[in-house]
Structure 1
């Protein structure tokens, strides 16, 4: 068994892969899901990612996720420290586990930006507001 290649709460390690660090702090479930896909031998990380977005459940999933990464990558530790790290600094925990799983910030940063651009392509806030207003009128009229 070995040690984590990056420690928690270490600014030097954040600077080593600053794009992954920034992605982790701005959109933590993106690297979470990508890392899970990389280390899971069975099942799909997408389902776990959806479950992790449920507010209370996320607190239970993160220590388990860290344990999966730890086990798959042969890192020393136990569930108690997984819980402690997850609850004290969840973003650092996701960054540490994602890096250990082999997630590279350069590739994921560009991929995430591209996905966001595709999602916003053709998005018009005034049209969306009008559509929401019409839907709420429809619901109010039919209740």
Structure 2
């Protein structure tokens, strides 16, 4: 199976491209949360915060490349155009955008996609308002 969009296909989804350019921690948080089987790992906010910490140290690619691999394995995607760490080292924003686009495309055909989970109302606790 191939990636739905290319590494440099940022203009195929301008909103994701803009968010990733100015707030890559947000895009990474979403990608990491999805790659971790939706909820089994740290949440979107925690992942984004860790991305910021690694960015301050100047090595966000050391953290992000592992989640690219998880996403590739989850969807059976090839390790292209080169290794996960090299892709994130050379162009972290392009890699994050590609990963986010891949998730959006794949989730668009599911009944409860990414956006519907984010917009779902919290469940009321039984007996909360007695």
What is the alpha-carbon distance in structure 2 between the residues aligned to residue 81 and residue 90 of structure 1? 13
Contact 2:10–2:94 under 8 Å retained in 1:
no
What is the alpha-carbon distance in structure 1 between the residues aligned to residue 11 and residue 49 of structure 2? 29
What is the alpha-carbon distance in structure 1 between the residues aligned to residue 47 and residue 25 of structure 2? 10
**5+ residue gaps in structure 1?**
112-143
- What is the Cα-based RMSD across aligned positions, in Å? 2.6
What is the alpha-carbon distance in structure 2 between the residues aligned to residue 40 and residue 71 of structure 1? 11
How many residues get paired? Answer: 102
Deviations 1:61-88 (A, max 9, x none): 011121111111221128x610110010
Question: Which protein has the bigger helix share?
Answer: 1
**Range with greater deviation from structure 2 (39-48 or 92-101):** 39-48
The offset of 1:49, in angstroms, is: 2.6
Please give the TM-score of this superposition, normalised by the length of structure 1: 0.61
What is the alpha-carbon distance in structure 1 between the residues aligned to residue 98 and residue 85 of structure 2? 14
Contact 1:3–1:75 under 8 Å retained in 2:
yes
Higher-Rg structure is 1
Residues 1-143 of structure 1: pairs in structure 2 closer than 5 A: 2-9=1-8, 13-41=9-37, 42-45=40-43, 46-54=45-53, 55-56=56-57, 58-77=60-79, 81-102=83-104
Please give the TM-score of this superposition, normalised by the length of structure 2: 0.66
**5+ residue gaps in structure 2?**
108-113, 119-130
